Structure 1
């Protein structure tokens, strides 16, 4: 016997002869599996989608049609601002935030209230809260005695309620990359929707115009008040500056007091320098005159004086005349006497002229000295005055700056006031309507065809999701591919669903319906068993399942009949808790069997029964022992099984389910191979995996699985299950409805 490593309970035997599964594209296989899952429930999905579509259609028919009218508004300039003249002419702000702001203003409460008052919407049933039906919440509150007190509807409250309704049904949408805003209103009345849309546009323009005028007027009033105060500040600053100048004797002509003072000092300095030069020039001659003591002829300044030179020239002429006369006449000669007298007069004149010039030079020096002293005194006084002015200059500069800044501020506000007045006179409309809303002909919603179509598509999608969810929640095995992937063992064969045939007819279907799909599937399993361990002359196979009702007994009986067609075969009923073999093959009640043979109370000829017209011998359960597991664990059972294997080439053992008792685990260690039977669409694969694990951990060798109860028509259509013998299905009518083998 062979054992399997318990560390790999789901691994297929290395020499099981199972072919390798062909590798396929995982993505294609996954999409195909999803399609098959959806296709299997396509009628249910379609029914769900149609039902939802019908319900949606009925709901849309019951809904009140709503109409939507749209007006287009062109935003031309931004709101009025107290800015410069250039900004007044600058035009519209192109920023995205600006247009979004205008859109929000269109939806504002102020605009809504203007429209409500203009159209008296609170008298319309759509807007009048007094005509609104009582809501579910109010009804429930009335039932429990919590109804709020009745509202006394005044005109302001009605306007607020109507404005709220208007805002809820108003849609304002800026058109991308443009200055256009679309104003849409939805109403039960086509005419009212157009009227409200146009009224909203007009109310927005009026509101903006009023706001701009109000802002400008407030700015004008503010600037006028500010200008009056600034004017007083300028006057006070100028008066303070003038008083300071007067106190400090500061004369400022054309804003150049420092320049005047400096120019005066420079002039005095120049005059003083010239006077000092003049004094220096006359001082030498003055000193020489003082030292000459009346003899001025040696003084150059006197000698070079024109008057003196003229007098000397006259004296020389007279002396020359005297000299000439002295050569002709004597001293006493009248001509000589006259000439000498004339010479004396000339000399006296020369002396007189010298004295006069010397006196003049003295006066020039004294005048130059006096001038220097006077200029020095004046320059000192002027410098003292400038120093005093300089000491007073900081305070005066402060006062001048105060006057300048106050006047500059006053001029700025005066300019702004003029600009504000100009902008007020040049106010332009911020927006204009380029498309007037007209009453629509067809309703805006509900879009009945679109709703029904979308509901149908969503219903199909929802149905597909539900189908996929149900498939994921379904943990049963659908076909051989599913069984191999989930159980990790090769699927030897798949048995079809059988009809309403009784158990006896199912147990020997290989012989009674030899051309059926069921019989062919059993023969396929027989071929797999015969190909396994071909070198062994004697083979013992165990047929078991995880739970009851999976068709293991039917599989064991038909597999034994299939083997009996080629060689002597023994079918052993080791299910000592719910034996089926004796009754299914028509053995007499109380027939001796396995329990008596192992106990030694009968021999093989008494315990083994031949099935008519076959090479199949049946060893029924016999008398059910009190503890079947101990019987199977006994050495006598092993010896009995050894003796039977020497007589029969193939022994098929029907054992109880693995999950119920441990008999199958005991038997699995004593047989050549084990066939694990799983019912499709019934047994959770987790239970089957647990049963397989138990057998492998007990040392059993599982050759493969047998999938029973497979609906080949549905499996081929929805799961890709295929049998080359499917054409038998058209003949074997009655074997494709639900039933247990």
Structure 2
């Protein structure tokens, strides 16, 4: 028996917590699709930003002063024409890219720009006149502080040109561009004056050519002066070397016969050597004959070859032979006393004596020849020795002579070359080939180059769209609140029970009973969706206790409790309990007496159940209000009397809906979690942070609460349609409050 006089039944065991959706069960969408939905939701704001920025850009470009661009085309000669027989002083130039890039940089140089500025007297134009420079904005402040002003310079052409050059250089108005695969250079100049743009572009091209010609002329003149001075020194050196050579010839008595033999010593040595060889041969022959005669006996001299070959000896031998033959013939005919015999004997003796005399004479001749040959050989050897000694001295003289002659020849050659170059360099001053020419002079442009109004406006529009889209994506990434249905499952990992649309001001005044008063609104449909979810959860359990809570106050848990109770009362016996005994609001929302006795009085025992029950007009919902505010509501909810009361009420009602206090602020909902068969967590769309919801739901589940799902309250259906969620609401219902079309 309970304290209310009714038999209590065992409390129904708490239902198990609902299973959370797995990652595979959640509807995953691609990041690109998610980005598109975010951008699509903010498309009108992004477009408005783009239009506003484009309008500002258009107004700005309209206020800007137009700039004109003129372009002159200059041809750079890769191989300059050569008028002279020698290379130009600059040396050879190649047709490589480095050469043309160098010429382009020269064309950008300060010297060329200053020459063009001076030629046009560009400082006379108001846009470039440095004398019209306005004082700085802070000049009055400097004057107040007593600071001296910067003195104005004494302007002349050089200072004016330098000041104009600074304006051009800083603004990058001059542009030099090489034309690809050609020897052409485009010289462009931007100016607010179309004529100045054309004139300066042409002036830069002409100044580049004139500057090159003048520079080469100066270098040629310098080279000519140097060659003249050098030639004079070389001429003096040549004359000195020639005088030195002539002095040497005169001192040494050298007579130039040919280029190879200055003194005739070589020829003398050659002749003496040849004669010496011949003398040695003759001496050898004479010595051989002499040795034969010397080593032979007198009777054997006739057998010596030198004697035998002598013609006188041969004649004497022939005479002797004739005398002997004649004597033999006579001796056979006559006697010894015969005159013929005597005569023959006398002739024979005379022949024999003649032969002996010839042999003796020949022997003496051979000896004389040997002595003469030896004397001749010795004389020739002495002469050859003297000639060789003289040849060495002559070689030294020839060496010194050759050195002097080579020095003279070298000085003469160097002198001739410098004289030729000096004459050619002096002649080149009168005619200089041009490094290039202006192929196409710049014309005065008719249309401005900048600002490109349409392009700038379009770019500003596109950039604003990109910036707006990026801002929307960034805000969406930084926003951790729950806005749409997909956020519940993606960020909180909890099932979604229903989504309540955002209400207008009139609807908020009757929000607690809106589903009953206007059943055709999207709000009423959302309440019926929540009702269906509740009925389909734990369908076998007939009697249920539902606790409705939220993270913070003002998220719509009371509205949810009241409307859900009204909807369930159409099929079930329903009791609505206001368990928020700190800031009760159910009775006031339903138009009942908020000060009537209620739950706190019933638990305390000061009132009976019949005393606290209130009937909601026009419905079958019974209400137990919060009653008298207790000092500690949590103690009442944790008491045994509250458990007994809940068990008694479950016997009388099919559905008991308890409106609890927010779980983030107090622990009342945590205390009610194990006593309920199901819990509904209400979240305000766009206001409640996802981590706060995760924290609250986990606290309830750890306490044993069975979370049926989350009700997302205050959803902007128009924004949801832009994000791709709940599109059927807008298509089916149209405007709020209109009957459904069939």
Shared fold, TM over 0.5:
yes
For 1:572-721, list aligned pairs within 5 A.
572-721=577-726
**Aligned pair 1:282/2:286, yes or no?**
yes
Choose the corresponding residue for 1:470, options 475, 485, 501. 475
Deviates more, 1:254-263 or 1:342-351: 254-263
Choose the corresponding residue for 2:189, options 185, 192, 216. 185
**How far apart, in 2, do the equivalents of 1:244 and 1:645 lie?**
150
Choose the corresponding residue for 1:149, options 132, 148, 151. 151
**How far apart, in 2, do the equivalents of 1:556 and 1:2 lie?**
21
Deviation at 1:552, TM superposition (A): 0.8
Instruction: Give the 3-state SS of the residue equivalent to 1:222 in structure 2.
Output: helix
Distance of aligned partners of 1:724 and 1:497 in 2 relative to their CA distance in 1, 3 Å threshold? closer
Distance of aligned partners of 1:417 and 1:16 in 2 relative to their CA distance in 1, 3 Å threshold? closer
**Aligned pair 1:480/2:485, yes or no?**
yes
Deviates more, 1:627-636 or 1:65-74: 627-636
What runs of 5+ residues in structure 2 fail to find an aligned partner? 1-12
Distance of aligned partners of 1:426 and 1:263 in 2 relative to their CA distance in 1, 3 Å threshold? farther
Deviation at 1:324, TM superposition (A): 2.6
The 8 Å contact of residues 170 and 186 in structure 1, kept in 2 or not, is answered as yes
Distance of aligned partners of 1:115 and 1:613 in 2 relative to their CA distance in 1, 3 Å threshold? closer
Q: 1:200: which partner in 2?
A: 204
The 8 Å contact of residues 543 and 674 in structure 1, kept in 2 or not, is answered as yes
> Structure 1 length normalisation: TM-score?
0.86
Q: 2:111: which partner in 1?
A: 110
**How far apart, in 1, do the equivalents of 2:36 and 2:573 lie?**
48
**Aligned pair 1:528/2:533, yes or no?**
yes
Q: 1:732: which partner in 2?
A: 737
**Aligned pair 1:211/2:211, yes or no?**
no
Deviation at 1:398, TM superposition (A): 9.0
For 1:448-527, list aligned pairs within 5 A.
448-501=453-506, 505-527=510-532
Deviates more, 1:35-44 or 1:278-287: 35-44
Distance of aligned partners of 1:208 and 1:263 in 2 relative to their CA distance in 1, 3 Å threshold? same
**How far apart, in 2, do the equivalents of 1:585 and 1:166 lie?**
80
**Aligned pair 1:159/2:161, yes or no?**
yes
Q: 2:8: which partner in 1?
A: none
Distance of aligned partners of 1:378 and 1:476 in 2 relative to their CA distance in 1, 3 Å threshold? same
**How far apart, in 1, do the equivalents of 2:80 and 2:647 lie?**
108
> Structure 2 length normalisation: TM-score?
0.85
Deviation at 1:269, TM superposition (A): 5.6
**How far apart, in 2, do the equivalents of 1:500 and 1:35 lie?**
32
Choose the corresponding residue for 2:451, options 440, 446, 452. 446
Alignment RMSD (CA, Å): 4.0
For 1:338-487, list aligned pairs within 5 A.
338-381=343-386, 427-487=432-492
Q: Deviations over 1:544-583 (max 9, x none)?
A: 1111111110001111111111111111111111101122
Instruction: Give the 3-state SS of the residue equivalent to 1:703 in structure 2.
Output: strand
Q: 2:123: which partner in 1?
A: 122
For 1:89-104, list aligned pairs within 5 A.
93-104=94-105
Deviation at 1:659, TM superposition (A): 2.1
The 8 Å contact of residues 15 and 677 in structure 2, kept in 1 or not, is answered as no
Q: Deviations over 1:221-243 (max 9, x none)?
A: 33454455556667777888999
The 8 Å contact of residues 21 and 494 in structure 2, kept in 1 or not, is answered as no
Distance of aligned partners of 1:514 and 1:50 in 2 relative to their CA distance in 1, 3 Å threshold? closer
Deviates more, 1:723-732 or 1:546-555: 723-732
Distance of aligned partners of 1:19 and 1:243 in 2 relative to their CA distance in 1, 3 Å threshold? closer
The 8 Å contact of residues 717 and 730 in structure 2, kept in 1 or not, is answered as no
Distance of aligned partners of 1:425 and 1:587 in 2 relative to their CA distance in 1, 3 Å threshold? same
Q: Deviations over 1:4-45 (max 9, x none)?
A: 8xxxxxxx9328899933455x1xxx3333333333333333
**How far apart, in 1, do the equivalents of 2:693 and 2:250 lie?**
121
Distance of aligned partners of 1:533 and 1:263 in 2 relative to their CA distance in 1, 3 Å threshold? farther
Instruction: Give the 3-state SS of the residue equivalent to 1:185 in structure 2.
Output: strand
The 8 Å contact of residues 493 and 522 in structure 1, kept in 2 or not, is answered as yes
Deviates more, 1:525-534 or 1:397-406: 397-406
Distance of aligned partners of 1:506 and 1:119 in 2 relative to their CA distance in 1, 3 Å threshold? closer
Distance of aligned partners of 1:475 and 1:17 in 2 relative to their CA distance in 1, 3 Å threshold? closer
Deviation at 1:204, TM superposition (A): 0.8
Q: Deviations over 1:615-639 (max 9, x none)?
A: 3221211111111122222333233
The 8 Å contact of residues 26 and 490 in structure 2, kept in 1 or not, is answered as no
Deviation at 1:349, TM superposition (A): 3.7
Deviation at 1:721, TM superposition (A): 2.8
The 8 Å contact of residues 279 and 377 in structure 2, kept in 1 or not, is answered as yes
The 8 Å contact of residues 611 and 617 in structure 1, kept in 2 or not, is answered as yes
**How far apart, in 2, do the equivalents of 1:389 and 1:624 lie?**
148
What runs of 5+ residues in structure 1 fail to find an aligned partner? 5-11, 735-741
Distance of aligned partners of 1:166 and 1:280 in 2 relative to their CA distance in 1, 3 Å threshold? same
**How far apart, in 2, do the equivalents of 1:19 and 1:609 lie?**
47
**How far apart, in 1, do the equivalents of 2:390 and 2:19 lie?**
128
Deviates more, 1:282-291 or 1:537-546: 282-291
Instruction: Give the 3-state SS of the residue equivalent to 1:669 in structure 2.
Output: helix
Q: Deviations over 1:227-276 (max 9, x none)?
A: 55556667777888999999999999877579998887677666544433
**How far apart, in 1, do the equivalents of 2:21 and 2:430 lie?**
104
**How far apart, in 2, do the equivalents of 1:727 and 1:625 lie?**
48
Deviation at 1:157, TM superposition (A): 1.0
